Amino acid sequence: MDSFFLPEEKIGEFTEHLSRFGKVYRYEQSSSGARLRLLSEDDYGKYSFPEIRAAEPAKFLFIKAKRKLAEYFDSSWKTIAIEEEPKVIIGLKGCDLAAIKIWDNVFRDDEDYKDPFYISARENTLLVGADCTSAGENCFCNLLGNKPFPAEGEFDLSISPVDGGYVVFIGSERGKKALDGFSMQNASQEHLKQIENRRNEILKALEEQNSKYKTSTPYRELVEKNPESPAWAKHGETCVSCAACTYVCPTCFCFQIYDKPGPDGKYERFLVLDSCKYPRFSFMAGGLNPRGRLVERFKHRYNHKFFHYHWRYEQYACTGCGRCIENCMGKIDMRETLKDIEKQEQSHKQ
Ligand code: SF4
Ligand code: SF4
């Protein structure tokens, strides 16, 4: 993979160059942790590199929380124009990029359904990845087979901090084109070694902190074979259905579609993101609600991420980013729930 050295003082020029592609969003360190910001020209040169992923996932830059899909009954259906503005997102960590792949499977690459809104947003977004430079206490990407740095094939460009600046990796033809006309020297062996050493250190730290949560049975099997485990009620009992976990989750995509009367006697159709944690998530027209009980909704989220999604796409719909752990009012830790399901299963067999 081609790699170049970007001196610290050239970060402004680099960002300005990428802004030719589109509006620039960048993950930056702030006093309240890493945040996603839309930059103005004045901000390009002021970069504080975040150590780990931010509170905000990037998903709302691909699908708006609420969006009009159609207008009817007119003399004909009105097609809603898809006007996606080109944009650049700088600083996507390995878990953020893995989450985009999870959405690609559903909205772009699935033969049964292609979402034109998502595809347009995706085609108009330049993905610039970034290494993690520490292991966050809630991060467990390693348990899901992900890494604390951008994986090949998932980014257009990526940046890794080194002494005196950054190494920029080219990950796609689009990334290469976005850098056309911007001059940088090749990265040195010393820079690449520095990156390799840091990546290994962080992986080791993640493995150490998450070793107590490691299960010997794969998550899919644990969730599929233990629908009656007492662990569901035990870990779900502090859930207050606030839906923070699904809101911050970079992979949660459940939505609902509804129609409402619009102007001039017409109707409008909207899509809004939904959450399986809301009591009426599975409510049916006849009044039946198979997930009326909180424990059923709690279990459903694990079922979707670790069983159903895996059954369909052969990967988990969780990247191990730990945002749901960090933001849960009920102090629920997904790693503990999964580990406890295994413990309960083992004690049941004895
Ligand atoms: S964030 Fe925690 S309390 Fe809120 S819905 Fe999710 S699991 Fe329940
Ligand atoms: S379920 Fe939790 S850990 Fe997994 S991707 Fe969503 S927020 Fe991250």
274-302, pLDDT tens digit by residue? 999 998 888 888 888 888 889 999 999 99
Beta strands in the chain (DSSP E): 3-7, 23-30, 33-38, 66-72, 78-79, 87-92, 125-130, 157-162, 165-170, 185-186, 255-261, 267-273
Q: Quick one: pLDDT at residue 96? A: 98
**334-349 and 294-302 are packed helices; what angle lies between their axes, rounded to 10 degrees?**
100
Looking at all shown ligands, the one closest to residue 99's CA atom is 2
Q: Quick one: pLDDT at residue 293? A: 87
Domain chopping of the chain, boundaries: 3-212, 219-349
The protein residue whose alpha carbon is closest to atom 8 in ligand 2 is: 321
CA distance 267 to 262: 5
Amino acid identity, position 240:
V
SS3 92: strand
- Residue 202 near residue 135, CB atoms below 8 Å: yes
The number of beta carbons lying within 10 Å of the beta carbon of residue 285 is 5
Ligand 1 contacts CB of residue 159 (under 6 A): no
Counted residue by residue, the chain has a size of 350
Q: Quick one: pLDDT at residue 77? A: 63
The protein residue whose alpha carbon is closest to atom 5 in ligand 2 is: 318
Q: Which residue has the tokens 């859930």?
A: 239
Ligand 1 contacts CB of residue 328 (under 6 A): yes
Q: Quick one: pLDDT at residue 206? A: 98
pTM to 2 decimals? Answer: 0.94
Ligand 1 contacts CB of residue 240 (under 6 A): yes
Mean pLDDT by 10 residues, the chain (350 residues): 95 97 97 94 96 96 89 68 89 98 96 92 97 97 97 97 98 97 96 98 98 97 96 96 96 93 83 91 85 91 97 97 97 97 86
Beta-sheet strand order (sheet of 255-261): 78-79, 66-72, 267-273, 255-261
The protein residue whose alpha carbon is closest to atom 3 in ligand 1 is: 239
In the chain, % helix, strand, coil (3-state, to 5) comes to 40, 20, 40
- Residue 237 near residue 298, CB atoms below 8 Å: no
Q: Which tokens is 240 given?
A: 């207050």
Among 48, 74, 114, 67, which Cα is nearest to 271's?
A: 67
Q: Which residue has the tokens 């950054």?
A: 166
What CA–CA distances, in Å, run from 20 to 17, 86, 174, 282? 6, 9, 13, 44
Q: How far apart are the first and last CA of the chain?
A: 51
Q: Quick one: pLDDT at residue 172? A: 97
Q: Quick one: pLDDT at residue 79? A: 67
Residue among 324, 331, 337 whose CB has most ligand 2 atoms within 8 A, to mutate: 324
Residue among 276, 323, 325, 333 whose CB has most ligand 2 atoms within 8 A, to mutate: 323
Ligand 1 atom with the shortest distance to the CA of 329: 3
Residue among 232, 234, 241, 335 whose CB has most ligand 1 atoms within 8 A, to mutate: 241
Looking at all shown ligands, the one closest to residue 295's CA atom is 1
Amino acid identity, position 20:
R
The protein residue whose alpha carbon is closest to atom 6 in ligand 2 is: 249
Count how many Cα atoms sit within 13 Å of the Cα of residue 123 in the half-sphere of its side chain: 12
Q: DSSP letters of 76-89?
A: SPEEPP--PPPEEE
Q: Quick one: pLDDT at residue 230? A: 95
Do strands 185-186 and 165-170 pair parallel, antiparallel, or not at all (unpaired)?
Answer: unpaired
Pocket of ligand 2 (CB under 6 A): 248-251, 305, 318-324, 334
Q: Which tokens is 123 given?
A: 């085609």
Q: Quick one: pLDDT at residue 78? A: 64
Q: Which tokens is 118 given?
A: 């998502």
